[in-house]
Protein backbone atom coordinates (compact mmCIF):
# COMPACT_ATOMS: atom_id res chain seq x y z
CA UNK A 1 0.00 0.00 0.00
CA UNK A 2 1.56 3.29 -1.10
CA UNK A 3 1.29 6.17 1.39
CA UNK A 4 1.90 9.86 0.78
CA UNK A 5 2.62 12.43 3.49
CA UNK A 6 1.68 15.98 2.51
CA UNK A 7 4.34 18.52 3.51
CA UNK A 8 3.76 22.27 3.74
CA UNK A 9 6.17 25.04 4.72
CA UNK A 10 6.09 24.85 8.51
CA UNK A 11 5.11 21.18 8.81
CA UNK A 12 7.05 19.44 11.57
CA UNK A 13 5.22 16.15 11.94
CA UNK A 14 5.95 14.95 8.43
CA UNK A 15 9.10 13.04 9.34
CA UNK A 16 7.31 11.44 12.30
CA UNK A 17 4.58 10.26 9.94
CA UNK A 18 7.10 8.99 7.40
CA UNK A 19 8.93 7.04 10.11
CA UNK A 20 5.75 5.57 11.58
CA UNK A 21 4.62 4.28 8.20
CA UNK A 22 8.04 3.04 7.08
CA UNK A 23 9.20 1.54 10.39
CA UNK A 24 5.90 0.77 12.10
CA UNK A 25 3.72 -0.32 9.20
CA UNK A 26 6.63 -1.34 6.95
CA UNK A 27 4.87 0.15 3.96
CA UNK A 28 6.24 2.30 1.14
CA UNK A 29 5.81 6.02 1.75
CA UNK A 30 7.06 9.25 0.28
CA UNK A 31 6.72 12.95 1.08
CA UNK A 32 4.40 15.02 -1.10
CA UNK A 33 5.43 18.66 -1.47
CA UNK A 34 2.67 21.25 -1.21
CA UNK A 35 3.18 22.36 -4.83
CA UNK A 36 2.25 18.96 -6.29
CA UNK A 37 -1.03 18.69 -8.18
CA UNK A 38 -1.37 14.93 -8.65
CA UNK A 39 -1.68 12.39 -5.82
CA UNK A 40 -3.30 9.59 -7.84
CA UNK A 41 -0.27 7.32 -7.34
CA UNK A 42 -1.08 6.93 -3.64
CA UNK A 43 -3.44 4.56 -1.86
CA UNK A 44 -3.65 6.68 1.31
CA UNK A 45 -2.67 10.20 2.34
CA UNK A 46 -1.58 11.64 5.68
CA UNK A 47 -1.66 15.38 6.38
CA UNK A 48 0.70 15.76 9.34
CA UNK A 49 0.99 18.13 12.25
CA UNK A 50 3.05 21.26 12.56
CA UNK A 51 2.56 24.96 11.93
CA UNK A 52 1.86 25.25 8.21
CA UNK A 53 2.71 28.76 7.01
CA UNK A 54 3.40 29.71 10.63
CA UNK A 55 -0.31 29.36 11.49
CA UNK A 56 -0.79 32.92 10.26
CA UNK A 57 -4.42 34.10 10.11
CA UNK A 58 -5.62 30.80 11.61
CA UNK A 59 -4.13 27.33 11.86
CA UNK A 60 -4.53 25.76 8.42
CA UNK A 61 -6.15 28.84 6.86
CA UNK A 62 -3.36 29.42 4.32
CA UNK A 63 -2.42 25.78 3.72
CA UNK A 64 -5.93 25.03 2.49
CA UNK A 65 -5.13 27.18 -0.59
CA UNK A 66 -1.94 25.29 -1.45
CA UNK A 67 -1.91 23.69 -4.94
CA UNK A 68 -1.86 20.16 -3.50
CA UNK A 69 -5.19 20.66 -1.74
CA UNK A 70 -7.15 20.53 -4.99
CA UNK A 71 -5.64 17.10 -5.60
CA UNK A 72 -6.39 16.12 -1.99
CA UNK A 73 -10.03 17.14 -2.47
CA UNK A 74 -10.29 15.02 -5.62
CA UNK A 75 -8.68 12.10 -3.80
CA UNK A 76 -11.25 12.44 -1.01
CA UNK A 77 -14.16 12.68 -3.44
CA UNK A 78 -13.01 9.44 -5.08
CA UNK A 79 -13.06 7.66 -1.71
CA UNK A 80 -9.33 7.74 -1.00
CA UNK A 81 -8.44 7.45 2.71
CA UNK A 82 -7.03 10.64 4.24
CA UNK A 83 -5.84 11.10 7.82
CA UNK A 84 -5.36 14.65 9.13
CA UNK A 85 -3.29 14.82 12.31
CA UNK A 86 -3.32 17.97 14.48
CA UNK A 87 -2.51 20.74 11.97
CA UNK A 88 -3.70 18.30 9.31
CA UNK A 89 -7.08 18.16 11.05
CA UNK A 90 -7.17 21.95 11.11
CA UNK A 91 -6.37 22.09 7.39
CA UNK A 92 -9.14 19.61 6.57
CA UNK A 93 -11.74 21.73 8.40
CA UNK A 94 -10.49 24.91 6.74
CA UNK A 95 -10.73 23.17 3.35
CA UNK A 96 -14.30 22.06 4.04
CA UNK A 97 -13.40 18.37 3.87
CA UNK A 98 -14.48 17.98 7.49
CA UNK A 99 -17.14 19.99 9.34
CA UNK A 100 -16.52 22.33 12.25
CA UNK A 101 -13.44 24.27 13.30
CA UNK A 102 -10.50 24.07 15.70
CA UNK A 103 -10.30 27.05 18.06
CA UNK A 104 -7.83 28.26 20.68
CA UNK A 105 -7.56 25.92 23.65
CA UNK A 106 -9.46 26.73 26.81
CA UNK A 107 -7.09 28.76 28.94
CA UNK A 108 -5.42 29.99 25.73
CA UNK A 109 -2.29 27.92 26.43
CA UNK A 110 -0.34 25.52 24.28
CA UNK A 111 -0.81 21.99 25.62
CA UNK A 112 1.78 19.21 25.25
CA UNK A 113 0.87 16.04 27.12
CA UNK A 114 -0.33 12.46 26.86
CA UNK A 115 -4.08 11.88 26.65
CA UNK A 116 -6.51 8.99 26.43
CA UNK A 117 -9.13 8.80 23.71
CA UNK A 118 -11.98 6.35 23.33
CA UNK A 119 -12.83 4.80 19.98
CA UNK A 120 -16.39 5.85 19.22
CA UNK A 121 -16.79 4.47 15.71
CA UNK A 122 -15.13 1.77 13.64
CA UNK A 123 -17.07 2.67 10.50
CA UNK A 124 -14.16 4.57 8.97
CA UNK A 125 -11.20 3.50 6.88
CA UNK A 126 -8.90 4.49 9.76
CA UNK A 127 -10.72 2.66 12.56
CA UNK A 128 -11.95 -0.46 10.78
CA UNK A 129 -11.06 -3.41 12.97
CA UNK A 130 -10.94 -1.35 16.16
CA UNK A 131 -13.61 -1.88 18.79
CA UNK A 132 -15.83 0.98 19.97
CA UNK A 133 -14.99 1.55 23.61
CA UNK A 134 -11.28 0.81 23.17
CA UNK A 135 -9.12 3.38 24.96
CA UNK A 136 -5.94 4.55 23.22
CA UNK A 137 -3.07 6.53 24.72
CA UNK A 138 -1.42 9.12 22.46
CA UNK A 139 0.36 12.47 22.80
CA UNK A 140 -1.00 15.90 21.92
CA UNK A 141 0.83 19.14 21.17
CA UNK A 142 -1.32 22.08 20.08
CA UNK A 143 -2.56 25.54 20.87
CA UNK A 144 -5.68 25.45 18.70
CA UNK A 145 -7.27 22.08 19.32
CA UNK A 146 -10.67 22.96 20.78
CA UNK A 147 -13.18 21.39 18.42
CA UNK A 148 -16.22 23.53 17.75
CA UNK A 149 -19.34 23.09 15.65
CA UNK A 150 -22.84 24.51 15.94
CA UNK A 151 -25.44 22.47 17.78
CA UNK A 152 -27.06 21.18 14.59
CA UNK A 153 -23.74 19.94 13.23
CA UNK A 154 -22.85 18.32 16.55
CA UNK A 155 -26.17 16.49 16.63
CA UNK A 156 -25.62 15.25 13.09
CA UNK A 157 -22.07 14.09 13.83
CA UNK A 158 -23.24 12.17 16.89
CA UNK A 159 -26.27 10.67 15.13
CA UNK A 160 -24.29 9.60 12.06
CA UNK A 161 -21.45 8.03 14.03
CA UNK A 162 -19.00 10.59 12.67
CA UNK A 163 -17.44 11.23 16.07
CA UNK A 164 -14.51 8.85 15.86
CA UNK A 165 -12.48 9.63 18.99
CA UNK A 166 -13.47 11.21 22.31
CA UNK A 167 -11.24 12.42 25.15
CA UNK A 168 -11.62 10.23 28.25
CA UNK A 169 -9.70 9.26 31.35
CA UNK A 170 -7.62 6.07 31.50
CA UNK A 171 -10.72 4.08 32.48
CA UNK A 172 -12.67 5.33 29.46
CA UNK A 173 -14.88 7.83 31.26
CA UNK A 174 -15.74 11.23 29.80
CA UNK A 175 -14.58 13.72 32.42
CA UNK A 176 -14.07 17.50 32.16
CA UNK A 177 -10.48 17.14 33.35
CA UNK A 178 -9.79 14.55 30.63
CA UNK A 179 -10.62 17.06 27.87
CA UNK A 180 -7.35 18.98 27.48
CA UNK A 181 -8.62 21.79 25.27
CA UNK A 182 -12.33 22.24 26.00
CA UNK A 183 -13.59 20.55 22.83
CA UNK A 184 -17.35 20.34 22.31
CA UNK A 185 -18.62 16.94 23.46
CA UNK A 186 -14.99 16.07 24.31
CA UNK A 187 -14.43 15.40 20.61
CA UNK A 188 -10.86 14.41 19.72
CA UNK A 189 -11.50 13.28 16.15
CA UNK A 190 -14.22 13.10 13.50
CA UNK A 191 -14.87 11.65 10.06
CA UNK A 192 -16.71 12.77 6.95
CA UNK A 193 -20.01 11.07 6.11
CA UNK A 194 -18.31 8.56 3.81
CA UNK A 195 -15.78 7.55 6.49
CA UNK A 196 -12.70 7.88 4.29
CA UNK A 197 -11.52 11.24 5.69
CA UNK A 198 -10.63 11.38 9.39
CA UNK A 199 -9.11 14.18 11.43
CA UNK A 200 -7.86 14.01 15.01
CA UNK A 201 -5.79 16.20 17.31
CA UNK A 202 -3.75 13.45 19.06
CA UNK A 203 -0.65 12.15 17.27
CA UNK A 204 -0.82 8.43 16.36
CA UNK A 205 2.44 8.74 14.43
CA UNK A 206 4.22 9.59 17.69
CA UNK A 207 2.80 6.49 19.37
CA UNK A 208 3.69 3.67 16.98
CA UNK A 209 6.24 1.90 19.20
CA UNK A 210 6.22 1.09 22.92
CA UNK A 211 9.65 2.71 23.18
CA UNK A 212 7.95 6.03 22.43
CA UNK A 213 5.59 5.58 25.39
CA UNK A 214 2.76 3.83 23.54
CA UNK A 215 2.13 1.85 20.39
CA UNK A 216 -1.61 2.58 20.34
CA UNK A 217 -1.24 4.93 17.39
CA UNK A 218 -0.12 2.03 15.23
CA UNK A 219 -3.61 0.55 15.59
CA UNK A 220 -5.02 3.52 13.66
CA UNK A 221 -2.41 3.35 10.92
CA UNK A 222 -2.76 -0.43 10.69
CA UNK A 223 -6.53 -0.18 10.35
CA UNK A 224 -6.37 1.58 6.99
CA UNK A 225 -3.82 -0.95 5.80
CA UNK A 226 -6.09 -3.86 6.71
CA UNK A 227 -9.08 -2.07 5.17
CA UNK A 228 -7.11 -1.73 1.95
CA UNK A 229 -6.17 -5.41 1.98
CA UNK A 230 -9.77 -6.43 2.62
CA UNK A 231 -11.01 -4.22 -0.22
CA UNK A 232 -8.43 -5.66 -2.62
CA UNK A 233 -9.35 -9.21 -1.61
CA UNK A 234 -13.05 -8.50 -2.16
CA UNK A 235 -12.31 -7.34 -5.71
CA UNK A 236 -10.51 -10.57 -6.62
Please give the Cα distance from 103 to 101 (Å, whole number).
6
* Phi-psi group of 100: left, alpha or beta (phi > 0 → left; psi -120 to 50 → alpha; rest → beta): left
Set 22, 78, 86, 155: catalytic member: 86
Set 94, 120, 144, 205: catalytic member: 205
Residues ≥6 apart with Cβ < 8 Å to 205: 13, 16, 17, 19, 20, 21, 46, 48, 85, 217, 221
86 carries an active-site annotation: yes
Set 94, 116, 120, 203: catalytic member: 203
Distance of CA 16 to the CA centre of its chain: 14
205 carries an active-site annotation: yes
203 carries an active-site annotation: yes
Maximal CA-CA distance, the chain: 53
Residues with a catalytic annotation lie at 86, 203, 205
Amino acid sequence: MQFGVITFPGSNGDHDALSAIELGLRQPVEPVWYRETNVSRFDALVIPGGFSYGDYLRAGAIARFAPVMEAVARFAAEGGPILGICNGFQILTEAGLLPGALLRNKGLSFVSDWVHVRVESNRTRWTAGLTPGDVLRMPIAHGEGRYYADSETLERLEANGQVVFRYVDAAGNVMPEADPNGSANAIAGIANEQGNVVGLMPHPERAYDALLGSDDGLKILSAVLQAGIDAATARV
